[in-house]
Amino acid sequence: MKNTLKLAVAAASLAMSGTAVAGSGDGKIQVKVLGTLVAPDGKITSVELDNIGLPAGTQTEADDNFVPTIAAEYFFTPNISLETICCVTQHDVTGTGPLNGAGLVSNANIIPATLTAKYHLVTGSGFKPYIGAGPTYFIFIDEKAGATAQALGATRQKMNDKVGFALQAGFDLPINDKGLGLSVDAKRYFVTTTARGFAGPTEVLRTRHRIDPWVISAGLAYRF
């Protein structure tokens, strides 16, 4: 998270500096500094192993998070570009139903490595809407068993890294003629993962989860 914040500050400084790089609304490169809401699902889609006795009807949900995000984009033509993002988001997974509010997974850090191809619509004005799509790779880091999972006998937690897909839509709106603008972006990810709980070296719980987050961002863009 600290590294992401440092990147955000550096990119913001670049965007605000008229002497560092000559900005242009028609430049090939665009960087964005965004505030991002990450709202995942987290529901169990199947229970593949249960040696700790989950109550019948147990379901799960993941909490939302708000994080800084950096995006970098290259324009091959005025209409077609490739974009990648950089962020780390942290989530807890809690129970619903019989285990309502119970802590099952704690501090799951996710890097959603994403590359989207975007098509920018021609409007004849500064308003530049776009749509996009592309692959994503969710990397899970340092997740832990929640308090309830530990009480049920799971002392260690592991979430599988997973390939998925993202759809995207948004718009850029210039603030001036030197490349500075506003950006609003929405992505819907389609990703599943397998959560494994261990008691020592022994796997005692294995569940599949639908992550499928909405990722909504807004902030500054600088094109040069």
Give the Cα separation of 51 and 92 in Å (integer): 22
Q: How is residue 114 written in tokens?
A: 């994403």
Q: What is the pLDDT of residue 151?
A: 86
Dihedral sign of CA atoms 3, 192, 80, 131 in order: negative
Cα-based distances in Å from 129 to 20, 37, 92, 174: 28, 20, 34, 12
Contact (CB, 8 A) for 159 and 108: yes
Q: How is residue 129 written in tokens?
A: 């809407």
Q: How is residue 66 written in tokens?
A: 């708000």
Local structure of residue 54 (DSSP, 8 states): P
pTM for this entry:
0.86
Contact (CB, 8 A) for 154 and 148: no
What is the side-by-side order of every strand in the sheet holding 202-210?
Answer: 43-50, 202-210, 192-199, 156-159
How far is C-alpha 100 from the chain's CA centre?
A: 25
The residues facing 186 across adjacent strands are: 169, 216
Give the Cα separation of 188 and 129 in Å (integer): 17
Amino acid letter, 65 = N
Domain holding 114: CATH number? 2.40.160.20
Q: What is the pLDDT of residue 17?
A: 45
Q: What is the pLDDT of residue 24?
A: 76
Q: What is the pLDDT of residue 154?
A: 86
pLDDT string in tens for the chain (224-residue length)? 444 444 444 444 444 444 445 777 788 999 999 999 999 999 999 999 999 888 888 999 999 999 999 999 999 999 999 999 989 999 999 999 999 999 999 999 999 999 999 999 988 888 999 999 999 999 999 999 999 888 888 889 999 999 999 999 999 999 998 999 999 999 999 999 999 999 999 999 999 999 999 999 999 999 99
Q: What is the pLDDT of residue 20?
A: 45
Structure-derived torsion over alpha carbons of residues 158, 139, 184, 93, reported in degrees to the nearest 10: 0
Contact (CB, 8 A) for 71 and 32: yes
Q: What is the pLDDT of residue 1?
A: 45
**Count: domains in the chain:** 1
**Residue 190's domain spans which residues?**
2-223
Q: What contacts 6, CB < 8 A, 6 or more positions away?
A: none
Q: How is residue 222 written in tokens?
A: 């600088």
Q: What is the pLDDT of residue 125?
A: 83
Contact (CB, 8 A) for 167 and 185: no
Q: What is the pLDDT of residue 21?
A: 57
Give the Cα separation of 184 and 182 in Å (integer): 7
